[in-house]
Amino acid sequence: MAHVHLCWELGGGLGHAGRLKLLAQGLLAAGHDVSLSLRDLGHTHAVLADLPVPKLQAPTWVHQTVGLPDNRGNLAEVILEYGYLEPNGLAGLVQGWRALFKLARVDMVIGDYAPTAMLAARTMGLRFASVGIGFTLPPPGSPLPPLRDWEAIPPQRLAQAEARVLQVANTVLAHHGAAPLAWAADLFLGDEPWMTAWPEMDHYGRPAEAAEWLGPVFAAGGGITPRWPAGDGPRVFAYLKTGHADHAHVLGALAQAGCRVLCYLPEVANGRPPPVQAPGILYARKPVDLSQALAEADWCVCHGGEATIAQALLAGVPLLLLPMQVEQYLVSRRMAAAGVAVNIPVTPPDWPALVRATLGNPSFTTAARAFAAAHAGFSPMDGVSRAIGRIQVPGQP
């Protein structure tokens, strides 16, 4: 069987680690050897501690890149910050990935938001696939789509960034005698992209026929049993972070509306005082079993993480979304268009009024339950199994 190396290079959060964990478990069950390279070994340890495979530190860009626009307009402008501004720095990262693949005797590479790992695999003639949500897997054979279509970013700026990334990547490939890339999107896609999303959640709004959708991949279960405040108001599960300026305002508005709120706020779990004290709000001291909490909830409030959205919709629970960055905003906008969520990208003038109007509108619950019915029987492992079934033993057709 093959030695498959799973890579995570860019992006934050535990979604990457959870996705790779399920892939690793499926690969092990199929008889393959598995190893991982991770952007963050510390934060992901709790998720991956029981996974019996080698876990290595991924080669990552550690320098500050200055002079780039704050409003990154496409994925090219995003990765310019991570070593793609000039060939010499990128060559060093590629060399690190090549050394890692050689030492691990890798047969195939699977990258989760890992363009440089896949670039290194190209220089070595290794098979490689990409796995991830729509945001990290742009449409093939075309310019990278804009990330901020509501802003008047000059198209020539985006084209220049894409041309710069392509030129730098192709310079490194030429040094190793590898074929050049035709499009910057090729950096993210690999030999074949494994789209772990539903078309309704695609950040770029592609039609269903534009890709093969394996469905979200997330590690369900785990965490403490949910406990709810006493009373008879609607149950609201809130997964919030203090980095959002209005986290306290929305919690206060939910309490004023008579909701029973179970809130996991990581900063409070780590010892920070609760932002709002109210009889209707209970703060979890550890991560909550999300599948169980959502099975009991009437609403979910979060920042737009893919795994949380997917599990809420499978439970037929509508969402109040407070995105904190562009990736979350794009998927939140899609969920609002589908009628299963309310997207709050900016501070509303009256939080209590908005919360009362939202929770009092039954159309969101109706739409979320219809979504759940349409995806009844879904398992995150279904798509994983389909993808793993395509992996061939090296040397065999």
Phi, psi of 185 (to 5 degrees): -60, -30
The predicted pLDDT at position 223 comes to: 86
Per-residue model confidence as pLDDT tens digits over 240-295: 999 999 999 999 999 999 999 999 999 999 999 999 999 999 999 998 999 999 99
Per-residue model confidence as pLDDT tens digits over 302-334: 999 999 999 999 999 999 999 999 999 999 999
Q: Considering the chain, what percentage of its residues have pLDDT values greater than 70?
A: 98
Specify the amino acid at residue 390.
R
* Residues forming a β-bridge with 195: 132, 213
Work out whether strand 3-8 and strand 281-283 pair parallel, antiparallel, or are unpaired: unpaired
Per-residue model confidence as pLDDT tens digits over 1-19: 889 999 999 998 788 998 9
Distance of CA 167 to the CA centre of its chain: 27
Domains of the chain: 3-215+380-388 (3.40.50.2000), 235-374 (3.40.50.2000)
Residues 27-57 as b/e (b if ≥16 CB within 10 A, e otherwise) read: beeeebbbbbbbbbeeebeebbeebebebee
Answer whether residue 387 shows pLDDT above 90.
no
The CA distance from 229 to 204, in Å, is 39
Structure tokens at 158: 């985006």
- Describe the strand order of the beta sheet including 33-38 as a list of residue ranges: 55-57, 33-38, 3-8, 108-112, 127-132, 192-195
- Describe the strand order of the beta sheet including 260-264 as a list of residue ranges: 281-283, 260-264, 235-239, 299-302, 319-321, 341-343
**Mean pLDDT confidence for 173-199:** 95
Per-residue model confidence as pLDDT tens digits over 68-101: 999 999 999 999 999 999 999 999 999 999 999 9
Model pTM above 0.85: yes
Going by pLDDT thresholds of 50, 70 and 90, the confidence category of residue 397 is: very low
**Mean pLDDT confidence for 98-108:** 96
List strand residue ranges (DSSP E) for the chain, in order.
3-8, 33-38, 55-57, 108-112, 127-132, 192-195, 235-239, 260-264, 281-283, 299-302, 319-321, 341-343
Q: Cα-Cα-Cα-Cα dihedral of 363, 366, 369, 373, to 10°? A: -130
